[in-house]
Chains A and B, each alone.
Chain A
């Protein structure tokens, strides 16, 4: 398994600003992902963070709004840009090792936009 940490754990931001969330894994992993969990809802995949190349975004999510970086095999960032109250959510990163389907999750970042 992998131990995943996220920073910040929570933040309150004003609309129109941007927030960058960091995700650190304690070992090298093949895949890293970013999810959003809106209140009372399921986890929705935002994108797959690809090491050394552009992230792969799911339908409904775009790079201009959620730019992602993954400079190496243990670290990734997600930026929530030009925030609005609708972006208030929990943002989670996850990692998968090898060919396993199992993903290990960070503790999440609780974002509130006012």
Chain B
């Protein structure tokens, strides 16, 4: 039972354009959501998070949107840069445990 889903395994975006990564969840008890970025041979790095009491959180080029009624969140990166090329995982929590999605590989090309 995959409680957190990232239906797009990969995404390719031109440098300077917007990258939108999507994530869906099934458990309405989740109250905190996070995005992690992972480069090859490294551990995941925390990127940005959002509480379920909010619908938007912004940090520089990164913005996370939460639609609780649709059980959907998205990460917007604008403008996209080649250094953003990595695998992005969304994660959700109802306690102190994190449930991760399967990841989306983002490639930003010049």
Which chain A residues have a beta carbon within 8 Å of chain B's beta carbons? 1, 4, 31, 33, 41-45, 48, 92, 94, 96, 101-108, 110
Alpha-carbon distance A105/B36, docked complex (angstroms): 10
**A108 contacts B97, C-beta separation under 8 Å:** no
Q: How many A-B residue pairs have CB under 8 A?
A: 49
**Closest Cβ neighbor of A45 among chain B residues:** B97
Which chain B residues have a beta carbon within 8 Å of chain A's beta carbons? 4, 32, 34, 36, 41-46, 49, 89, 93, 96-103
Instruction: Provide the main secondary structure of the chain A interface.
Output: strand
Q: Using A43-B89, A101-B49, A102-B34 as known contacts, say yes or no to A48 and B100 having CB atoms under 8 A apart.
A: no
Residues in A neighbouring B97, C-beta threshold 8 A = 33, 45, 48
**A104 contacts B46, C-beta separation under 8 Å:** yes
Residues in B neighbouring A102, C-beta threshold 8 A = 34, 46, 49
Alpha-carbon distance A1/B103, docked complex (angstroms): 23
**B49 contacts A43, C-beta separation under 8 Å:** no
**A42 contacts B103, C-beta separation under 8 Å:** yes
What are 22 residue pairs bridging A and B, where the CB atoms are less than 8 Å apart in the complex?
Answer: A4-B43, A42-B4, A42-B89, A42-B100, A42-B101, A43-B44, A43-B100, A44-B100, A45-B99, A48-B96, A92-B43, A92-B44, A101-B32, A101-B93, A101-B96, A101-B98, A102-B49, A104-B46, A105-B43, A107-B41, A108-B41, A108-B43
